[in-house]
Amino acid sequence: MKDLKKYSLLSMLILSLTSGYAQQTIQFSQYVFNGLAVNPAYAGYKEDWTANFSFRSQWVGIEGAPRTATASFDGVTDQQGKKMGLGFIAATDRLGPQNTSAFYANYAYRLQLDAEDTKRLSFGIGAGVTQYNLDGAKFISTDPGDGVIPIGNESKLRPDVRFGVYFYTPKFYIGASVMDLLSGMRKDEISTEGDYKVIRQVRHIYLTGGMMIPLSESLDLKPTFMLKEDFKGPTNLDLNAYLLISKVLWLGASYRTGVTLWDKNNLQKGLSQSDAIAGIVELQMSNRFRLGYSFDYTTSKLSSYQSGSHELSLSISFPGKRARVLSPRYF
């Protein structure tokens, strides 16, 4: 009976997505260590070519719960002026019968704002494709012949564009980006096999920021935030705080909640805003390798149906022959 309740809960979530023909973007707790996932202007920020890998298993214990993975690679193309950043990112996200895969190429133009090259303003654009797939055989239908549920696999390939701005100094950064730009410029397409409409992403706006606060010679504090808005669902806010110990070990905590910026008439009233809290550990094993783990504990009513979320990340840098950058890259 418990397993049936879990699957029914997930089925209701999927069906609620199909009724709106739109979905939220993927969720990561360790986004601050892979800025390319939320802003194309981040490309080349670390200057050394860097590979990032992330895997997230969400809502463990619920059958068909989200499984998300990303792989990215970015750096600067000109080692002298470091004006051009280039990055590539691939992502896959599975939620029950739904699977989304995407690939983007990102370009950033990086303006040097001071003679010491400690401040840069970057403008980025990303272009790519997203494939949406829905397996109708994985739905449990109570009404045979329901036109909302496809009989077999439904798949659509969509082009897309994203844009971002990113400003940073050694102790501060702020960025803004618009993801899934083309989603608001096209109509829902109808499958040739019926009247089922393929789920697609909705346009998202991200605002991110953070700073480094030295507490002692061996201890630094890094508070950060991320505000995510899609104009259809709740506005999401991530608040994070990290302690950097001896420039090697990051210990952090995150709180994720909904916030009300204005009244959205389409949302149900009286829903809890609180979503999750997370504990994060990042180990800078060397100048080249960083390993991270986070655990999310759900604070909403979903908590009684699952056992939290796990997330792993790995970063590998490939320094060139030139000397490393003078200012450390903490963001």
Domain membership of residue 211 (yes or no) is: yes
> Which has more pLDDT, 258 or 26?
258
Segment 236-254, tens digit of pLDDT: 999 999 999 999 999 999 9
| Amino acid found at 324 | R
Higher pLDDT, 170 or 189: 170
Mean pLDDT of 141-156: 68
Three-state DSSP class for residue 17: helix
- What is the spatial distance between Cα 295 and Cα 281, in angstroms, rounded to a whole number? 9
Q: Is residue 13 part of a domain?
A: no
Q: Are 109 and 82 in contact (CB under 8 A)?
A: no
CATH at 190: 2.40.160.40
Residue 119, judged by CB atoms within 10 A of its CB (0-12, 13-18, 19+), counts as: middle
Q: Which whole number is the average pLDDT over 174-180?
A: 94
The encoded tokens of residue 76 equal: 């600067």
Q: Give the pLDDT confidence score for residue 263 in this predicted structure.
A: 76
pLDDT at 200 over 70: no
Alpha-carbon torsion, ordered 95, 138, 182, 104, to 10 deg:
60
pLDDT at 24 (0 to 100):
59
Query: What is the pLDDT, as a whole number, of residue 141?
Result: 63
Per the model's pLDDT, the better-predicted residue between 61 and 117 turns out to be 117
Does position 225 have pLDDT exceeding 50, yes or no?
Answer: yes
Q: Check residues 136 and 86 and name the one with the higher pLDDT.
A: 86
What's the chain's average pLDDT? 83
Q: Does the pLDDT at position 316 exceed 90? A: yes
Q: How many domains does the chain have?
A: 1
pLDDT, residue 297, reads: 92
pLDDT of residue 121: 97
Expressed in angstroms, the distance from the first to the final Cα of the chain is 46
Q: Which residue has the higher pLDDT, 196 or 97?
A: 97
Better pLDDT: 232 or 192: 232
pLDDT of 318 strictly over 50: yes
Q: Which domain holds residue 243?
A: 39-318
pTM, whole model, 2 decimals?
0.84
Residue 12 binned pLDDT confidence (cut-offs 50, 70, 90): very low
